Structure 1
């Protein structure tokens, strides 16, 4: 008998949660059918903006929810659930949890809810809504890292399971750096620091800019990602006099090339869950310098990784110099660390075991 699972997310724009959900679809076992439902957006627009969705088009559904709360979206989701008849719904974060709880009233289902971070629960309203939605239910609450589980517990929210995010460690592997630099048109004679993620304040890219000021002139920064803060970050780089040292790559369709091209990876985030970029960079052999937020400390290679507090440009610069001095000696250790702890196949099998 086939198990049908609906993965429900807020939207399908490039991001950690969205890529994770695609992996749960891509690596599902033969006896599991997986569909992905995005509350927001439309299929044609989403695929145009993120072509990686195209191979899965027949498995994707978009409810085109307008801004704010929308009762019609609840009805659309309920009709879709009745049509597809899943045995399991798997929601990610608060919005999908809310809409799915309302849409499944009276429908017997296994319900999994993954929390990918906990910083949003610092907001009293979101914390109370989350507790209310989980109260008196059989929802299995999953945290994607031990520290995320600890933080949820401190907010009075009980976690059923901890399932570490996984990546395709057969795809993200060390490789030819010179070729990767050529493909991304990055200079061969410069030290390249990499940052990747949505360009929003939480990612702390501005801190990396300030750290770059304290690094030698032959150190440059490659930034992979788009977002609402891009124009402001352009201006920040200009004011700091480092515009000529920053390579804006936008959305990278081939992130493996990005990680292979750089010399070290930096995660200067102010808030995080367990970012896939942390796992992917290390799987490609790269040393990571990161902030001690969210689940980052749980999956940072203890032999090579360095942790520091957010918004500390000068300590960040020093940590990057130290990491660069030792980076090549740790390449295989970094890759092996992620292969052992965070492979997507293990993650998918663990999630599927909860649907039985």
Structure 2
């Protein structure tokens, strides 16, 4: 145990909110970071004193959102992947804030959180599994070797849960599925007039390798032969941006592609789209697809990870194999040509989002799980009249 660290006993200040720290890689507007922000803002402050820390403060986007809402945020100042000083800073933060629940997202925060959280005696250590079969062998082994240091693991979809149970040998009592949720009031359908102008195909996934915008551009090039006035709207930034612009030039379609960069709110851009396309080669539970469905858009997506748990083939959209520009183009062409089918998919997608993927439902499941873990590991139970008290 790190010198000076200690575990609060259940009776010590038990009525006060329990200190909980979410740990992420950075404060970018990525999928995991959005979920952390929604969870941090949604957990009742009478029960949990939530803070958020990032290994590196590369972006201030989500940090500013959290700070405005009164959630304390911490930049651990990691400068490169081998920067061991971040471990010391994390240990000091856990000790200073007397953290009793450490909830980690993504590989590096999870690995560090399991090790340092265990050394510091943090009694509840939860890690989130958000992808499957994407990490290289070394990372999978590290995940498997350290998963025993986690009190509990939360998977973002049933498919990810099954993969984690098999690959990392997690017993069922330490594994829970909590699907992502979307703000149904913010992302709402808007009426789109199919005759109003050129069709707009869009994607809000970050411009990184695993989202495979290359296949999307190649498919869109094929679509352009049938729909020469169609436009492709790409929302987000990422390391693939310059290479994608070069590919657009090479394919002769760059004039019909709009790169609008990272946006604090993607809802206005979804309102400009007639069709949403998600070409990823790996996915856990894609927020961007949920947001598109909540906005009433028909969806074409690759059948990877937990995406088939979101997009119902032939009901809310069309699923295609990954890395297949021909199949992707065929699906896009089918929905661009059949307005009635596209509208039916959009309505069904909104209904499915309302039924199964509301943000409130995600928060309720998270709160219920945390309450169970607190009772199991700390021996405390919450009542509105008393707060936390020994069971």
Say whether the fold is shared (TM-score over 0.5): yes
- Structure 2 counterparts to residues 12-23 of structure 1, below 5 A: 12-23=27-38
- SS at 1:30 equivalent: coil
8 Å Cα contact 1:14/1:50 also seen in 2: no
- Structure 2 counterparts to residues 288-327 of structure 1, below 5 A: 288-302=299-313, 303-324=315-336, 325=338, 326-327=341-342
Q: TM-score, normalised by structure 1?
A: 0.90
Name the structure 1 match of 2:348.
Answer: 333
Q: Which moved more, 1:275-284 or 1:148-157?
A: 148-157
8 Å Cα contact 1:199/1:230 also seen in 2: yes
Q: Which moved more, 1:147-156 or 1:18-27?
A: 147-156
CA apart distance, 1:114:
0.6
Name the structure 2 match of 1:100.
Answer: 113
Q: TM-score, normalised by structure 2?
A: 0.83
Distance 1:268 1:248 in 2: 16
In the TM superposition, what whole-angstrom CA distance separates every residue of 1:128-166 from its partner, at most 9, and x where no partner exists? 11111112x452011100111122233243261111111
8 Å Cα contact 1:27/1:344 also seen in 2: no
Distance 1:354 1:198 in 2: 30
Q: Which moved more, 1:231-240 or 1:253-262?
A: 253-262
Distance 1:115 1:143 in 2: 5
Name the structure 2 match of 1:128.
Answer: 141
Distance 1:156 1:236 in 2: 38
Distance 1:23 1:189 in 2: 36
Picking from 233, 240, 245, the partner of 2:244 is 233
Distance 1:144 1:48 in 2: 23
| 1:174 lines up with 2:185 in the alignment | no
Picking from 87, 92, 96, the partner of 1:79 is 92
Q: Which moved more, 1:187-196 or 1:310-319?
A: 187-196
- Corresponding residue pairs, total: 343
CA apart distance, 1:218:
2.0
8 Å Cα contact 1:87/1:355 also seen in 2: no
- SS at 1:355 equivalent: helix
- Structure 2 counterparts to residues 49-64 of structure 1, below 5 A: 52-56=65-69, 58-64=71-77
User: Structure 1: any 5+ residue segments left out of the alignment?
Assistant: 179-186
User: Structure 2: any 5+ residue segments left out of the alignment?
Assistant: 1-14, 372-391
Distance 2:152 2:200 in 1: 42
Distance 1:95 1:170 in 2: 33
CA apart distance, 1:309:
0.9
Distance 1:38 1:253 in 2: 19
| 1:268 lines up with 2:283 in the alignment | no
Point out the structure with max Rg over C-alpha: 2
**Shift in alpha-carbon separation, 1:149–1:94, aligned structure 2, 3 A:** same
Name the structure 2 match of 1:204.
Answer: 212
CA apart distance, 1:301:
3.4
Distance 2:116 2:167 in 1: 26
